Every structure is written in C-alpha cells, then in structure tokens.
Amino acid sequence: MSENNNPGRILLSLTGWAPDVWLKQLAETAPHRKTVVEPEGESDPSIEYAVVWKPRPKALGKLPRLKAIFSVGAGVDHVFSDPDLPDVPIVRVVSPDLTARMSEYVVWQVLDHHRLGPRYRQQQVDRIWEEDRDQPAASEISVGIMGLGELGTDAALKLRCLGFKVSGWSRTAKNVEGVTCHAGSEGLDPFLATSDIIVVLLPLTPDTREILNKDLFARMTKRGPLGAPILINAGRGGLQNEADILNALDTGQLSAVTLDVFQQEPLPADSPFWTHPKVTVTPHSAAASMPASLIGPMVAQMDAHDRGEPLTNLVDRKAGY
C-alpha cells in the first residue's frame, strides 16, 4: 500500500471495449482502490495505475503520480501508438487462461486446414460427396510458429502432442523440447523452407511490421505435402501486407490463409478477404482477455509494487514488446 495507506486510484482507459465488465471486476477485486474512466483533469494526482487497451491519446501523458501501465492484452503495440506515452513501466498480459485460449485457436485452425475443413464445408454447401483418400498424416506435416514466446511455445507443444513436426522462429535463440528452434535473420530461411503451415504469433514492432510480405512468401517451401504453404496469422494485422497475401493466394504461392487480425479492424465490409474462397476470417477472437482471470493478477501486482516488490511481465521498451 502507499505510505499513507490510501492506495492510488486506477484509470481504466479502453477503446473499442465496453468498460462495464472491467469496472465491475475491478470493484470486486480491488475494493481498496477506486477505478475511474476519466481522470479529474489531465494531471490528476490521484491516479497511480492505468489499465488500458488503445488508451485515448493524451490520457496518460500528464499524470504526475502514474507508477505503471497495465495492458489488458498480451500485445502492447496499442500502448506504443500513444505519442505522449509516459516513461513508466508497462506490464503486459501473461496468463494461463489467455495462453490456453490461443493454443485452442491454433490447434483448431491447423487441424481445420490439415483435415480439409474449408473444402468439406464448401462440398456440403454444393452437396458434393467426395472424400480425399490421400490425406497426409500429422507426422508428415511441419508446422512453423513465427514467435516462440508465451503463446507460441504453448501452441508448439500442443501441436507436438498431436504428432505434427513443429519448428519455431524467434528473435533470440530458444530451446524447446521436441521443437526445432530457429532464431534471428539467419534462422528465417531454414524455418520458411521447412514449414508447410505457418502460424504467426509475433508482436507488432518496428522490426516485424509487414514481415508477412511477398519477399517472405517467395522464400517459403513449395514442396510440402499440402502443396503451397498455409498461413495462419493470429498476431497482429500490421504484420501482414494484405495486397501481397491476396496476390500470393491468387498466384498459388499460398494455398490458404486464416486471418484473425487485420490492418483495419473491424474488417471493412468491402474487403476482398470476406469472400475469398481460400480465406478464413475470424474477428480478432483467437484469444480474448477475460476480466475475471486478468484483473486479480493485475491488482496483486499493483499492491506488491506499492510494497516495493518488482513488477513482472514487463515490456522491453527498446524491443517494443
């Protein structure tokens, strides 16, 4: 607690997310701290912590006693896009609940492509009974995870349990049992050359912006059991060059894609992705942040920080994630 035993208030600043359920959870979990959605003036001295998703521009910049910013998402690109971001620690979500949800999504989409879900759904619409007797086994398919962090590692291990060959690519070298690990720019080509299905769980940073582009698609394998590779992006829309994806689908460089995230969200009604036969669209729902599982650990961190203990799950400002 603060020295005066009067813990500072929490500012909840969410864009595109109804605050009510978060406010209710905060009130239940942190009855000793008041939460507000608007500070009392730009330089409200009572605010010590901010809980944010795409915080309103200038919402945080002038709060003189702000101690830390808590992102309600695992990704923090939405925090860095604030031009007035104050120089306080940023804590991101690392949660077993979020991780489990993301792995469910990844396994679901990998299996859907592997077991010809898009094709059979279309056949049902067209009333066509045509089975594929030559489906490869999971053990014949290599799934490559771009971003072998909290989410990517768990997804990789779950895919291993299903029998897929799994590799991963990260910025720094990793060692994950049963997973072939590649790192850095020199690790990218061997990773791309051996991945039949690529799952993207990278953060959006200056280094990864539009990394999913025509140059990268040209470096992917062309010889896998699925023919051209399949791309599944559940990271961020800013990772992808959308014109290049459409072109790669149309030229056969990619055989199918699942996209959970887009450059513009919600996806505009006239986007070609909605109707493209090789595209599966989900509405940024791969892994939802649930107030009931996230607020408890956040408030515990605030209280621990006030007692002088270090914050965990801190964002590296220099790396941008």
Residues with catalytic roles: 236, 284
Distance from C-alpha of 40 to C-alpha of 32, rounded to nearest angstrom: 19
Residue 74 binds ligand OXD, judged by CB under 6 A? yes
Pick 10 or 98: Cβ nearer ligand NDP: 98
Residue whose C-beta lies closest to ligand NDP:
149
Token pair in block for residue 204: 């959006």
We find the least distance from the C-beta atom of residue 131 to ligand OXD, in angstroms, to be: 37
Pick 12 or 232: Cβ nearer ligand NDP: 232
Report the sign of the C-alpha dihedral through residues 247, 253, 254, 255, in that order: positive
- How many other CB atoms are found less than 10 A from the CB of residue 268? 11
Residue 73 binds ligand OXD, judged by CB under 6 A? yes
Alpha carbon separation from 130 to 123, 277, 280 (Å, rounded): 8, 18, 21
We find the least distance from the C-beta atom of residue 8 to ligand NDP, in angstroms, to be: 27
Q: 197 has which bridge partners?
A: 143, 230
* Partner that binds at residue 150, options ligand OXD, ligand NDP, none, CB closer than 5 to 8 Å by kind: ligand NDP
* Partner that binds at residue 224, options ligand NDP, ligand OXD, none, CB closer than 5 to 8 Å by kind: none
We find the least distance from the C-beta atom of residue 154 to ligand NDP, in angstroms, to be: 8
Distance from C-alpha of 294 to C-alpha of 121, rounded to nearest angstrom: 36
Residue 168 binds ligand OXD, judged by CB under 6 A? no
* Partner that binds at residue 231, options ligand OXD, ligand NDP, none, CB closer than 5 to 8 Å by kind: none
CB 152 within 8 A of CB 167: no
| 240-299 residues near ligand OXD, rule: CB under 6 A | 289
Tokens 């702000």 -> residue: 66
**Residue count at the site for ligand OXD (CB under 6 A)?**
5
Q: Which residues contact 182 (CB under 8 A, 6 or more apart)?
A: 167, 168, 169, 170, 188, 190, 191
We find the least distance from the C-beta atom of residue 278 to ligand OXD, in angstroms, to be: 24
Report the sign of the C-alpha dihedral through residues 174, 172, 80, 304, in that order: positive
Strand residue runs (E) in the chain? 9-14, 35-36, 47-53, 68-71, 90-91, 142-146, 165-170, 180-183, 197-200, 230-233, 256-259, 279-281
Residue whose C-beta lies closest to ligand OXD:
73
We find the least distance from the C-beta atom of residue 16 to ligand OXD, in angstroms, to be: 11
Token pair in block for residue 270: 């006239």
Q: Which residues contact 63 (CB under 8 A, 6 or more apart)?
A: 11, 39, 42, 43, 44, 45, 47, 50, 86
Among 39, 55, 75, 229, binds ligand OXD (CB under 6 A): 75
We find the least distance from the C-beta atom of residue 53 to ligand OXD, in angstroms, to be: 8
Pick 39 or 203: Cβ nearer ligand OXD: 203
* Partner that binds at residue 149, options ligand NDP, ligand OXD, none, CB closer than 5 to 8 Å by kind: ligand NDP
Pick 214 or 284: Cβ nearer ligand NDP: 284
Work out the end-to-end distance of the chain between its first and last CA atoms, rounded to an integer number of angstroms.
28
Footprint of ligand NDP (CB under 6 A): 73-75, 102, 147-152, 169-172, 201-205, 207-208, 234-236, 260-261, 284, 286-287, 321
* Partner that binds at residue 262, options ligand OXD, ligand NDP, none, CB closer than 5 to 8 Å by kind: none
* Partner that binds at residue 201, options ligand NDP, ligand OXD, none, CB closer than 5 to 8 Å by kind: ligand NDP
Residue ranges in contact with ligand OXD by CB under 6 A:
73-75, 93, 289
